[in-house]
């Protein structure tokens, strides 16, 4: 797949794309877990996942914590809190709700619009390509998202869900796009402006802050009157074991490893390109979702996948070419 990019000897950009693909492979799994745990609310799923992410991060940091903590400058702890909310807790609550209402495939392809939003946010950043040169690839990404929105409303597998629930799920997915795009822009600009933290160190600090917030959310859920956010009385110990096992997997594979790979990509790629690496999250989410559902994609879903892949490959090539240069040969 990576040969499709054929970047002209730019090792830094090549490495950034590899890291972006690896983060997408890890993050694709986050769409499947809410479908595997339908009896647990999105708020409980998010707090459980990030509580464990914080514990894993603290374990991995170990005795280096005081040294890393001393490196934080004024305002950076507040930034970590903002990133933890928009890139983790708020984002995942919205995403989990969207998956449970609209389905894995529909949510993952709506999230595919994130590259477009991030590109618009990063259009004035260093290394950005002018929007005029990105009109065609961004148009292909938007067309892919339009295809899946049509599929959500018309396809046979989607008709099994109530229309109101599907529409609300799509709205939650759009909210997740906006939340994560804001995080991605803030995070990438910070990482590119400093050299005190590498991608893994920043991921671990971010994880500990997210874990603390996740713990507070968990306590709030338990303290709220009633049981609106808690699973039903028929939830068994086996269900809770599966809940913690899957969230531990998310904490290690998706949160720690996926965030590490994303931070490494964000340090090497301009924002207008790094955001489009999220297409791989969509593709892996679709692969996992179709495998779990034991079905083949619909025609519209196949068209959407083709448009998303073609759009991000074209965008990568245009980032690798200076304006006015001849196209890179296939």
Please count the other Cβ atoms lying within 10 Å of the Cβ belonging to residue 154. 11
CB proximity list for 141: less than 8 A, separation 6 or greater = 112, 113, 115, 116, 276, 279, 307, 308, 311, 312
The percent of residues above 70 in pLDDT, for the chain, comes to 82
Residue 54 burial (10 A CB sphere; 0-12, 13-18, 19+): buried
pTM for the model: 0.78
**Helical segments of the chain, H only:** 11-27, 33-36, 42-61, 65-71, 76-84, 90-102, 104-110, 114-121, 131-154, 156-159, 163-193, 199-223, 237-249, 258-268, 271-274, 279-293, 299-320
Integer Cα distance of 221 and 242 in angstroms: 20
Cα distance from N-terminal residue to C-terminal residue, the chain: 13
In a domain, 10, yes or no: no
State the helix-helix crossing angle for 163-193 and 114-121, rounded to 10 degrees: 40
Integer Cα distance of 6 and 327 in angstroms: 11
The percent of residues above 90 in pLDDT, for the chain, comes to 19
Tokens describing residue 279: 């297409």
In a domain, 93, yes or no: yes
Integer Cα distance of 7 and 317 in angstroms: 6
Enclosing domain of residue 181: 30-318
Is residue 23 a contact partner of residue 284, using CB atoms and an 8 Å limit?
A: no
Per-residue pLDDT band for 243 (boundaries 50, 70, 90) equals very high
Is residue 11 a contact partner of residue 207, using CB atoms and an 8 Å limit?
A: no
pLDDT at 326 over 50: no
pLDDT at 278 over 80: no
In a domain, 16, yes or no: no
In a domain, 264, yes or no: yes
In a domain, 75, yes or no: yes
Closest residue by Cα to residue 49 from 319, 282, 247: 247
Is residue 49 a contact partner of residue 92, using CB atoms and an 8 Å limit?
A: yes
For range 225-240, the mean pLDDT: 77
Check the CA dihedral 314-120-271-26 and report its sign: negative
In a domain, 138, yes or no: yes
pLDDT at 207: 92
Per-residue pLDDT band for 159 (boundaries 50, 70, 90) equals low
Integer Cα distance of 148 and 312 in angstroms: 17
**Number of domains the chain is built from:** 1
Integer Cα distance of 248 and 253 in angstroms: 8
Residue with tokens 């989607």: 158
CB proximity list for 257: less than 8 A, separation 6 or greater = 22, 26
Is residue 284 a contact partner of residue 108, using CB atoms and an 8 Å limit?
A: no
Per-residue pLDDT band for 6 (boundaries 50, 70, 90) equals very low
In a domain, 170, yes or no: yes
Integer Cα distance of 125 and 319 in angstroms: 13
pLDDT at 208 over 90: yes
pLDDT at 312 over 80: no
pLDDT at 226: 65
In a domain, 6, yes or no: no
């Amino acid at each position: 797949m990576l040969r499709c990019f054929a970047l002209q000897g730019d090792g830094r950009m090549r490495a950034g794309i590899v890291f972006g693909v690896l983060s997408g492979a890890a993050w694709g799994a986050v769409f499947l877990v809410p479908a595997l745990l339908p009896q647990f609310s999105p708020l409980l799923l998010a707090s459980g996942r990030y509580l464990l992410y914080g514990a894993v991060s603290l374990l991995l940091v170990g005795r280096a914590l005081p040294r890393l903590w001393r490196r934080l400058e004024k305002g950076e702890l507040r930034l970590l809190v903002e990133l933890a909310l928009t890139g983790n807790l708020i984002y995942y609550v919205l995403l989990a709700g969207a998956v449970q209402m609209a389905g894995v495939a529909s949510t993952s392809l709506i999230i595919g619009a994130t590259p477009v939003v991030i590109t618009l946010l990063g259009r004035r950043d260093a290394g950005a390509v002018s929007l005029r040169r990105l009109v065609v690839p961004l148009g292909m990404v938007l067309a892919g998202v339009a295809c899946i929105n049509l599929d959500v409303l018309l396809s046979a597998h989607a008709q099994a869900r109530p229309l109101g629930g599907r529409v609300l799920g799509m709205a939650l997915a759009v909210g997740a796009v906006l939340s994560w795009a804001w995080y991605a822009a803030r995070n990438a600009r910070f990482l590119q402006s400093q050299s005190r933290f590498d991608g893994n160190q920043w991921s671990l600090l971010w994880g500990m802050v997210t874990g603390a917030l996740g713990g507070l959310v968990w306590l709030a859920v338990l303290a709220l009157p009633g049981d609106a956010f808690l699973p039903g009385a028929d939830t068994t110990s086996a269900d809770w074991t599966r809940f913690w096992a899957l969230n531990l997997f998310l904490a290690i594979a998706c949160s720690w490893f996926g965030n590490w790979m994303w931070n490494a990509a964000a340090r090497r790629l301009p924002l207008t390109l790094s955001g489009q690496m999220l297409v791989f999250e969509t593709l892996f989410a679709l692969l996992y979702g179709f495998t779990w559902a034991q079905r083949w994609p619909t025609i519209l879903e196949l068209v959407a996948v083709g448009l998303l892949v073609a759009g991000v490959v074209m965008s990568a090539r245009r980032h690798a070419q200076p304006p006015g240069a001849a196209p890179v040969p296939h």
